Amino acid sequence: MGAYIIRRLLLMIPTIFGIMAVSFVITQFAPGGPVEQALANISGQNVDLAERVTGGGEETLSQPSGDSQQSGGTYRGRQGLSPELVSRIEQQFGFDKPPLERFFSMIWNYLRFDFGESYYRDISVIDLVLEKMPVSISLGLWMTLIAYGISIPLGIAKARRDGSRFDVWTSTVVIVGYAVPGFLVAIALVVLFAGGSFWQIFPLRGLTSPGFASFPLWRQILDYFWHLVLPITAMGLGAFATATLLTKNSFLDEISKQYVVTARAKGLTENRVLYGHVFRNAMMLIIASFPGAFIGAFFGGSLLIETIFSLDGLGLLGFESIATRDYPVVFATLYIFSLLGLVIGLISDLAYMWVDPRLDFESRDI
């Protein structure tokens, strides 16, 4: 077991390196980088930005000739601007160094968890991520736990009653829930329950109410979950369908095997057969899908939900950082997310052994 864990940890190094290298190369060819955006703003007589970049000194800005697009790797928006100003902007964003040097400098800093500062926010990247983390943790963790907590018992019940009316109508409900986009459900919930046109039962903004810090503990807990009801409901419908049907199919596959027939022939009760023998084997696929579901809910599935319910989390941060070419935030979040994804994948493998001790990790090559 120890050797397997060490091999998996060592394998994470080239994996992370490859992810960061590919992403870094792609950004080198992406138009509209931070330098180009700064030059475009200055060329458009954005005085505030000009003063920030030039340090408040006087700088003669003339309108650029031609459009402000990239052509042949040279940004036309810099035409008409002094070389000193262009050089100062490139130095501010770190683009005065060769790409290879910038990449390895970034990797070295990331190995020490030094992610630098945001281009456009006066805050370090790690502090910015930690500031947004509570929202993403709340959405991802509770959505995943609630979805699996309901889907697993529901999937088992559907497997036991396969083909019955209960199985048919629950399948209809979960499939319809899966087909309806989460953002559409969110809008409907806002209209119905957040003061849109009908009832104003749940809050529309944030995770807490004004004055939250002064509330007693019991009221803080209630207020926190009160704010989570609508976004968790909007995000969870698709997860319910996937986990429920996966659980049902896994149990149906195991129930048809010979060892189940033998256990029943020995006179074991149905619950003993189902939970003492089938459950452990059927849960293998459920555990295998958990890391992907958690990572998807935690990092990738909440952008529209965060926007609709005014939740300032990692999904919204990542989107805004890509749109504004805030590369320190983009690369830092990519590095953190990739590292967490690999670690959770390892934890998933270890959970396999807990569910089924027959698994032999030491004999595996990876």
On whether the CB atoms of residues 149 and 157 are closer than 8 A, the answer is: no
Angstrom distance (rounded) from CA 260 to CA 247: 17
Torsion of CA 39, 63, 61, 55, to 10 degrees: -20
Taking only the tens of pLDDT, the chain with its 366 residues reads: 677 788 888 888 899 999 999 988 887 777 767 767 666 666 654 444 444 444 444 443 333 333 333 333 444 445 555 677 667 666 666 677 788 888 888 899 888 888 888 887 878 888 888 888 888 888 878 888 888 888 888 988 898 888 889 989 988 888 888 888 878 888 888 888 887 677 888 888 888 888 888 888 898 899 889 988 888 888 877 777 878 888 888 888 888 888 888 888 888 887 888 887 788 777 776 776 666 666 666 665 567 788 888 888 887 888 888 888 888 888 888 888 888 878 887 877 777 677 666 666 666 555
The tens digit of pLDDT for each residue in 314-325 reads 878 888 888 888
Angstrom distance (rounded) from CA 52 to CA 42: 10
Which class is domain 126-355? Answer: mainly alpha
Angstrom distance (rounded) from CA 303 to CA 301: 6
Other beta carbons less than 10 A from residue 237's beta carbon: 19
Backbone angles phi, psi at 257, to 5 degrees: -85, 165
The tens digit of pLDDT for each residue in 15-29 reads 999 999 998 888 777
On whether the CB atoms of residues 156 and 247 are closer than 8 A, the answer is: yes
Residue recorded with tokens 């120890």:
2
Angstrom distance (rounded) from CA 248 to CA 184: 27
Q: What is the DSSP letter of 195?
A: S
**Would you call 70 helix, strand, or coil by DSSP?**
strand
Angstrom distance (rounded) from CA 89 to CA 27: 18
pLDDT at 61: 38
Angstrom distance (rounded) from CA 195 to CA 206: 15
Query: Which pTM was predicted?
Result: 0.69
Torsion of CA 339, 342, 344, 346, to 10 degrees: -140
What residue ranges of the chain are covered by domains with CATH 1.10.3720.10?
126-355
Q: Tell me the torsion sign for CA atoms 292, 298, 299, 300.
A: positive
pLDDT at 357: 65
Angstrom distance (rounded) from CA 182 to CA 306: 11
Query: What is the amino acid identity at position 339?
Result: L
> For the residues of 100-163, what is the DSSP string, one character each?
HHHHHHHHHHHHTT---B-SSSSSBHHHHHHHHHHHHHHHHHHHHHHHHHHHHHHHHHHHHTTT
